[in-house]
């Protein structure tokens, strides 16, 4: 399978490109950057291997023309255009971009009617297991257990809470058969009063070079349960994304999740 990488010169983009290179059954089909010194450079040279004969381009449409599947971990503002290209060219899209608004979510739903889209807030196998456990534990525990989600990332991360933290909140809300929009609380500051029963809270930390730490806390009188996942390197996300890309082969158009890919 020829796999293209949008935003191939970034930290995540390079990790994705390298993972494609070392994965059996996958081939680097192309890389895209909107501008910068890497444009025109061989993508193999970019990631520190021998040249592969494919240069970094500025036009995303080129990747959807020449590749079987494209991986997008770029920015929310570009998602609509990338989904439209995937649908037009009937090419699979693996989407890991977070911080999406309602317009992007609608575009993804429409695009999935015409092509295969695998979307996940986090492509780590361990995080997707954590999502399943969070939903199950929330289902089993009563409202006497307060739920909070603590996440920490590096100082350069632009969205907050992280997409993974929000996904964990959705999993907890699903386990309790409620809507996160109704019970979620992202900030506490000042005299906020006693905590409402059933609230799902979020706490965000930013600093250093932390790849991604997530903890779901279930706290009741006299006891506390904590489910945690800590990422120490980006390759775990790249491995999951490339695995998802290979999984798209032969699938019917639709919107899939990493849980579909893993059979969870």
Catalytic residues: 153, 157
Peptide bond just before 161 cis, omega within 30 deg: yes
CA distance linking residue 259 with residue 251, whole number of Å: 15
CA distances from 207 to 49, 154, 164 (A): 31, 5, 17
Give me the long-range contacts of 218-221 (CB less than 8 A, separation at least 24).
218/137, 218/138, 218/141, 218/145, 218/146, 218/147, 219/145, 219/146, 219/147, 219/148, 220/141, 220/144, 220/145, 220/146, 221/144
Beta bridge partners of 198: none
What is the enclosing helix (H) or strand (E) of 87?
A: helix 76-89
CA distances from 182 to 136, 140, 176, 200, 216 (A): 20, 20, 12, 9, 19
Question: Would you give the distance in Å from CA 152 to the centre of its chain?
Answer: 15
DSSP letters, 99-134, are: S--HHHHHHHHHHTTTSEEEE-S---HHHHHHHHHH
């Amino acid at each position: 399978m020829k796999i293209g990488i949008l935003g191939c010169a970034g930290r995540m983009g390079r990790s994705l490109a390298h993972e494609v290179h070392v994965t059996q059954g996958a081939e680097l089909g192309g890389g895209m950057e909107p501008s910068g010194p890497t444009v025109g450079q061989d993508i193999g040279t970019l990631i520190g291997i021998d040249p592969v004969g494919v240069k970094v381009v500025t036009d995303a449409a080129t990747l959807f023309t020449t590749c079987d599947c494209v991986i997008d971990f770029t920015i929310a503002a570009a998602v609509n255009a990338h989904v439209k290209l995937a649908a037009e060219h009937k090419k699979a899209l693996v989407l890991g971009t977070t911080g999406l608004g309602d317009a992007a979510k609608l575009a993804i739903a429409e695009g999935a009617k015409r092509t295969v889209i695998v979307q996940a807030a986090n492509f780590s196998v361990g995080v997707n297991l954590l999502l399943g456990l969070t939903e199950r534990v929330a289902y089993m525990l009563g409202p006497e257990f307060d739920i909070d989600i603590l996440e920490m990332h590096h100082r350069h991360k632009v969205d907050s809470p992280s997409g993974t933290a929000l996904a964990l909140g959705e999993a907890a809300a699903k386990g309790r058969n409620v809507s996160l929009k109704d019970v979620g609380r992202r900030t506490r500051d000042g005299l906020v009063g006693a905590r409402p029963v059933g609230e799902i809270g979020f706490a965000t930390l930013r600093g250093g070079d932390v790849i991604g730490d997530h903890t779901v806390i279930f706290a009741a009188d006299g006891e506390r349960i904590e489910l945690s996942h800590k990422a120490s390197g980006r390759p775990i996300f790249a491995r999951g994304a490339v695995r998802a890309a290979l999984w798209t082969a032969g699938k019917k158009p639709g919107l899939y999740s990493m849980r579909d890919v893993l059979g969870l």
